Amino acid sequence: MEMVNIKLNGKPLQVKAGTSILKAALTDEIKIPALCAHDDLDAWAACGLCVCKVEGSPKMVRACATEVVEGQNYITHDPELQEIRTTVLEMILSNHPQECLTCGRSNTCELQSLAGDFGIREIPYEMDIKDIEADKSTPSIVLDPRKCVSCGRCALVCQQLQNVWALEFLERGHKTRIAPAGGVLLNESPCIKCGQCSAHCPVGAIYEKDETRKFLAAVRDESKHVSVQIAPAVRVALGEAFGMEPGTLVTGKIYAALRKLGADSVFDTNFSADLTIMEEGSELVHRIKNGGILPQITSCCPAWTDYMEKYANDMIPHFSTAKSPMMMQGVMTKTYYADQIGTKAKDIYTVAIMPCTAKKYEITRDDNMWASGEQDMDLVLTTRELARMIKAAGICFDCLEEEDADSPIGAYSGAGTIFGVTGGVMEAAVRTAYKLVTDNELEDLNVHAVRGMAGVRKGVVDFAGTDIKVAVAHGMAHVEEILNEVREAKAKGEEPPYHFIEVMACRGGCIAGGGQPYNTNDTVRAQRVAGLYNDDEKSVTRRSHDNPEIAKIYKDFLGAPMSHKSHELLHTKYQERPIYSK
């Protein structure tokens, strides 16, 4: 690795070539203020706060966008810079409503904390707030242009990381705003509801639709049995809201907290992740053995499903018909579990704690989400919403004793828990499909070919002499590469390049979903990923088909994977949707 020698405020420092001044400074614990820079994104250089001086040059440079040069001395802080930054900050604040108390980002807002650090006590300029109504058209996120500081993060995430292009810069000058092109509502735009915009927004201009009140109402309704499930990725991230390191596994504390909040039963989405593997794995084996359409593509990510239905609907025949684990859990709660406790679907209120904003959309995405006769999932809350509920309820999260999930749809295998990380669904499926195809168990359960953070990963798994070709993509911008391989092979009449493809919309998978705690970057992602693999390693069973509750549900209720009943309850259909619906 090539290194360069620079000086920061006169102090010699050696950093990797190609490092920005902003990041070089961080290696020496020097924090340069910035609102638009984000580790996940190319420098956009919009906010103007990170200006620095290069000794010997009259011009100031943007620390976020300027790579360090051998021998230079960079001044990151001095009284002149301080004054300029203060003025720029005051200007930005003059365009931002002072509604911190009622803002979803209060206490986590990057602008608020900068204003605090700089000791801004009054804004010398006339206030000028955009008079545009918030866009609440999607079930997932709210876009409030009044609070937008035009840093561009959301648009860049939407365009560069996700290749969705729902958000664009509209108009110019002081009228600049970020919204779907053509001025349509988000719901009429290509938006896939992944919520990455909300996870990257430095202020409260795009945020998850808060539905915590609905949970409280359900709990207070004595006629309802409130049943809550938690997604795999929540258990390695929620702790961050309570000062724990990213990746800290807090599964048992979450179960306990949910019961304190009033849940009548607490289940785990990991159970139905195992169930998904049984269905989806069997579907794959069926396609392979019977000359079905290959590759099969995973369908557990609702943002990906939405993307596919809009941008890649030629892939509909490739999609696994298996519902997502959350939806399977919902319908099992309202059928199988309802029977067990002797109640009816309509008297159960199902809640899912998810790392994801698209899940809020998924529960009503089409008629198949009413398989139990009622709406299978009633409410989705994100990790961030759960954290707020716990705080509001005065629960000392740290002090909670760990508890177990309820039976009979709460136990999970290691395969179920790694659903939350990119490559995890593939790995879990391989563990079970191997058994279904070869009738033997896979020896090394860690399928290294599909692990890691590369945007696209391709590998071959040896199924006792048969090569099963797999590919994994995460971050929507990476998916077209694989889809194009499939399309090309199809056009040329060649063998499909893969048997099985896993796609997750968010970089890193659900652990970095749009509903997870703020300040996610690749370092945080790695910690959360490690947390889930750790959960897998220490699990008693690491294969979905070894989960005893899975065996039981097939024996007592579903019959067999891909049975008629399974199809009715656990499988779905897809449809073409227009990119712009207006």
Partner 1 sequence: MAVKNYVLVCGGSACESAKGNDIYKSLLHQAEVQGVSNDLQIVKTGCFGFCEKGPIVKVLPDEAFYVEVKPEDAEDIISENIVKGRMVDRLLYKEEGKKEYKPENIKFYQKQKRIVLRNCGLIDPESIDEYIARDGYLGLEKALFELTPQQILDELKKSGLRGRGGAGFPTGLKWSFTQRIDADQKYVVCNADEGDPGAYMDRATLEGDPHSVIEAMIIAGKCVGADKGAIYIRAEYPLAIKRLEIAMDQARERGLLGDNILGTDFSFDLEIRLGAGAFVCGEETALLASIEGKRGMPIPKPPFPAAKGLFGKPTVINNVETYANIPVIISKGGDWFARYGTEGSKGTKVFALTGKIKNSGLIEVPMGTTLREIVFDIGGGIPNGKKFKAVQTGGPSGGVLTEDFLDTPIDFDSLISVGSMMGSGGMIVMDEDDCMVDVAKFYLDFCVEESCGKCAPCRIGTKKLYEILSKISQGKGEIEDLQKMKDMGQAMKKASLCGLGQTAPNPVLSVLNAFEEEVLEHINDGKCRAGKCKDLVQYSIDESKCIGCTVCARKCPVNCISGDRKVAHVIDQSRCVKCGACYDSCKFGAVLVS
Specify the residue, 166 or 236, whose C-beta has the smaller distance to partner 1.
166
Nearest-approach distance from CB 1 to partner 1, in angstroms: 21
Specify the residue, 42 or 462, whose C-beta has the smaller distance to partner 1.
42
Q: 3-state class of 557 per DSSP?
A: helix
Looking at 55, 67, 366, 462, which residue binds partner 1 (CB under 8 A)? 67
DSSP string, 83-147: HHHHHHHHHHHTTS---GGG-TTTTT-HHHHHHHHTT-----S---------B--SSSEEE-TTT
When asked if residue 95 is in the footprint of partner 1 (CB under 8 A), the reply is yes
Q: Applying CB under 8 A, which part among 63-71, 302-310, 422-430, 479-487 lies near partner 1? A: 63-71
Q: Applying CB under 8 A, which part among 125-133, 231-239, 403-411, 551-559 lies near partner 1? A: 125-133
What are the residues facing 268 on neighbouring strands?
A: 230
When asked if residue 171 is in the footprint of partner 1 (CB under 8 A), the reply is yes
Nearest-approach distance from CB 332 to partner 1, in angstroms: 48
Specify the residue, 123 or 445, whose C-beta has the smaller distance to partner 1.
123
Nearest-approach distance from CB 181 to partner 1, in angstroms: 10
Lookup: tokens for 473:
């993509």
When asked if residue 55 is in the footprint of partner 1 (CB under 8 A), the reply is no
d(CA 459, CA 274): 23
Nearest-approach distance from CB 37 to partner 1, in angstroms: 11
When asked if residue 169 is in the footprint of partner 1 (CB under 8 A), the reply is yes
d(CA 364, CA 376): 9
Specify the residue, 111 or 303, whose C-beta has the smaller distance to partner 1.
111
CB environment 556-571: b (16+ within 10 A), e (fewer): ebbeebbbeebeebbb
Q: Applying CB under 8 A, which part among 84-92, 319-327, 339-347, 506-514 lies near partner 1? A: 84-92
**Helix H or strand E encompassing 368:** none
When asked if residue 413 is in the footprint of partner 1 (CB under 8 A), the reply is no
Using a 10 angstrom Cβ sphere, with 0-12 exposed, 13-18 middle and 19 or more buried, the burial of residue 331 is buried
Q: Applying CB under 8 A, which part among 38-46, 327-335, 384-392, 501-509 lies near partner 1? A: 38-46
Nearest-approach distance from CB 129 to partner 1, in angstroms: 12
Looking at 84, 120, 453, 530, which residue binds partner 1 (CB under 8 A)? 84
d(CA 78, CA 84): 10
**Helix H or strand E encompassing 12:** strand 11-16
When asked if residue 328 is in the footprint of partner 1 (CB under 8 A), the reply is no
Nearest-approach distance from CB 452 to partner 1, in angstroms: 27
Q: Map the footprint of partner 1 across residues 139-168, applying CB under 8 A.
A: 149-150, 152, 168
Looking at 46, 184, 237, 250, which residue binds partner 1 (CB under 8 A)? 46
Looking at 87, 106, 440, 523, which residue binds partner 1 (CB under 8 A)? 87
Give the CA-trace dihedral at 82, 86, 87, 88, to 10 degrees: 100
Which among 399, 347, 393 is positioned nearest to 372, based on CA atoms?
347
Contact in structure between 454 and 544 (CB atoms under 8 Å): no
Looking at 2, 126, 444, 494, which residue binds partner 1 (CB under 8 A)? 126
When asked if residue 119 is in the footprint of partner 1 (CB under 8 A), the reply is no
Specify the residue, 152 or 420, whose C-beta has the smaller distance to partner 1.
152
Q: Applying CB under 8 A, which part among 118-126, 227-235, 238-246, 400-408 lies near partner 1? A: 118-126
When asked if residue 62 is in the footprint of partner 1 (CB under 8 A), the reply is yes
Contact in structure between 472 and 501 (CB atoms under 8 Å): yes
Amino acid sitting at position 42: D
Looking at 88, 244, 453, 477, which residue binds partner 1 (CB under 8 A)? 88
When asked if residue 288 is in the footprint of partner 1 (CB under 8 A), the reply is no
d(CA 382, CA 247): 17
Specify the residue, 51 or 425, whose C-beta has the smaller distance to partner 1.
51
# residues near partner 1 by CB under 8 A: 37
Q: Beta strands 206-208 and 141-143: pairing type?
A: antiparallel
Looking at 45, 166, 238, 558, which residue binds partner 1 (CB under 8 A)? 45
Specify the residue, 96 or 525, whose C-beta has the smaller distance to partner 1.
96
* φ, ψ dihedrals at 6, nearest 5°: -130, 180
Nearest-approach distance from CB 176 to partner 1, in angstroms: 3
Query: What is the gyration radius of the CA atoms in the chain, in angstroms?
Result: 25
Q: Which residue has 């929507």 as its token pair?
A: 476
When asked if residue 173 is in the footprint of partner 1 (CB under 8 A), the reply is yes
Nearest-approach distance from CB 143 to partner 1, in angstroms: 17
Nearest-approach distance from CB 90 to partner 1, in angstroms: 9
Using CA of residue 104, residue 106, residue 108, residue 113, what is the dihedral sign?
positive
Looking at 26, 41, 65, 316, which residue binds partner 1 (CB under 8 A)? 65
Q: 3-state class of 178 per DSSP?
A: strand
Using a 10 angstrom Cβ sphere, with 0-12 exposed, 13-18 middle and 19 or more buried, the burial of residue 110 is buried
Nearest-approach distance from CB 116 to partner 1, in angstroms: 19
d(CA 448, CA 444): 9
Amino acid sitting at position 500: F
When asked if residue 51 is in the footprint of partner 1 (CB under 8 A), the reply is yes
d(CA 53, CA 161): 31
- Contact positions toward partner 1, by CB under 8 A? 43-49, 51, 60, 62, 65-67, 83-85, 87-88, 91-92, 94-95, 124-126, 128, 149-150, 152, 168-169, 171-176
